Amino acid sequence: MELPSTSAAYLRNPPPAYPPVSKRLGEQGRVVLRVLIGADGRAEQAEIRSSSGFERLDQAALKTVLQWRYVPGRRGGVPEAMWFNVPINFVLE
């Protein structure tokens, strides 16, 4: 079994937009999203598994991962829908 992936270079998944209010307030954190990736490489569902502690950051991450493309997981070489944890880090520089 091969797990899904977001790391293929050709996918060109953009990072989530940092909410302007969160930037201004200095909000940072890590969101872990549980995403159901379909056999076609599209996100079918997503839910917050671990919150950053800031609703704006969590929602920005959720919106973004639902738009990304993925390399689907495979079982016996055949693409299959699978749940996959996707971490998103929001860090101010």
Domain boundary assignment for the chain: 20-90
pLDDT per residue over 30-77, tens digit each?
999 999 999 999 999 999 999 999 999 999 999 999 999 999 999 899
The most distant pair of C-alpha atoms in the chain lies apart, rounded to whole Å, by 48
pTM check: above 0.85: yes
How much is the pLDDT for 12? 86
CATH no. of 20-90: 3.30.2420
Positions of E strands within 24-72: 29-37, 43-50
How much is the pLDDT for 79? 94
Q: How wide is the angle at C-alpha 31 spanned by C-alphas 28 and 34, nearest 5°?
A: 170
pLDDT per residue over 16-26, tens digit each?
999 999 999 99
